[in-house]
A = this chain, B = another copy of it.
Amino acid sequence: MKEGEIYMEKKNVTFDDIAKFTGFSKTTISRFFNKPDSLTEKNQKIIKDALDKLGYQGQNQLARNLAKGKTEYIGVIIPNLYLHYFSHLLNNILQTYEEFGYKFMVFVEGENEEEEKQYIRELMSYQVEGLLMMSHQIPSASLAQLGIPVVGIEREDQFISSVNCDNYAGALEAVRLLESHHCDVYLHINTPTNVLTPAYQRIVGFQDYCDKHHLPNEVIVRSMGNEYGKILPVMTSLFDNIEAWYKGKKVGIFFADDTRANCFLNLLVRKYKTLPPNYKLVGFDDSPIATEAVYSLSTVGQKTEIIAREAVRMLIGEIRARKEAKNGQELSKPQHKVIMPALIKRESTELENKY
């Protein structure tokens, strides 16, 4: 190979070309790819040599794998990548190639269920061996009928396997941190959340902890979308209310995610010119914004690297199990794995301790 050269490929080497070159029939060439053992070793070698000489190398991987029903493709449907959490997750999913060798064909979620079903048809017609689903549009009951393994991440997962953050445990950690600062009242700010999604457990965890420890608390649920531009006006009015309701009190707030926590933090800093000591804020995710905020945000850090790796591993395991299963043999039940998050203490709860 010359320096700088990746490899030379002669395009469009057909079965015809190989047949002419070797003198074999096209059927024999086809058999070489589909059932190589039906040819003598000598003839296999003749064809292999011909492929090398014709520069066919590499080009037939797909055809060969296709014949074996083994494309090593995984289909991925991901919600909008504008959400930090999902771009991190996708980044980590793609990087599992180094370990597992599976390739990823990626779609961004559709505007509705029908659009997304079209993506799945497309993915299946291209022989993906399994699906990683992060979008919410299609219920797991439908996904379970696809006939290929599906693993969900942070979505409703009643009838499919899944890998999720332990949202409940994360919420407990968040409130425990707030409690260590002896707040007068504990708030949880979230958006309307489907009770079947893993993230709903953040609300349950918050309430359970507060109830058990007799902490005065309030869960505040407001529709505010996911973009900062839409969050800001809703959060501004909420901020004004909280300022009025809890005047003079020490307020601990656990937010549904770092983006919302950062929005509230900005409102505080713009009003008080600093982070006032009577507010303690904890986010969720450990998104980039948690460190890029004007005062760094304490947060429940999702281990996206581990979640991504475990989801791919689980999916490949199910792909293999399904191949090895005898016809009619019952397939294993959906598995659900939760990954423990890590509480990260930063300025939004610890500032007064440092200054």
Contacts and interface: CB of A to CB of B under 8 A. Distances in A.
A228 interface: yes
A81 B81 contact: yes
Given A6-B120, A58-B121, A106 B106 contact: yes
Interface string A1-23: 00011111101100000000000
A9 B146 contact: yes
A116 to B, nearest CB: 9
Given A266-B294, A292-B289, A105 B108 contact: no
A318 to B, nearest CB: 14
Given A61-B125, A269-B269, A6 B292 contact: no
A142 to B, nearest CB: 5
A125 B91 CA distance: 23
Interface in A253-277: 259, 262-263, 265-266, 269-270, 273-274
Contacts of A121: 6-7, 58
Interface stretch (A62-70, A160-168, A169-177, A190-198): A62-70
A126 interface: yes
Contacts of A119: 97
Contacts of A273: 273-274
Give the number of times this chain occurs in the complex, counting copies. 2
Interface string A84-111: 1001101100110110000111111000
A80 interface: yes
Contacts of A61: 125-126
Interface in A138-170: 138-139, 141-143, 145-148
A115 B6 CA distance: 11
Interface residue tally on A, bucketed by range: 35 or more
A102 to B, nearest CB: 11
A66 B69 contact: no
28 contacts: A4-B139, A4-B145, A5-B145, A6-B142, A7-B121, A8-B145, A9-B147, A26-B27, A30-B30, A58-B124, A62-B71, A62-B125, A66-B66, A81-B88, A81-B94, A82-B87, A82-B91, A84-B288, A103-B107, A104-B106, A228-B291, A229-B291, A262-B292, A263-B292, A265-B294, A266-B294, A270-B295, A273-B274
Q: Lowest 4 CB-CB distances: which A-B pairs, in order?
A: A273-B273, A61-B125, A87-B87, A81-B91
Given A4-B141, A9-B124, 7 more contacts: A4-B145, A5-B142, A30-B30, A63-B66, A81-B87, A94-B106, A105-B106
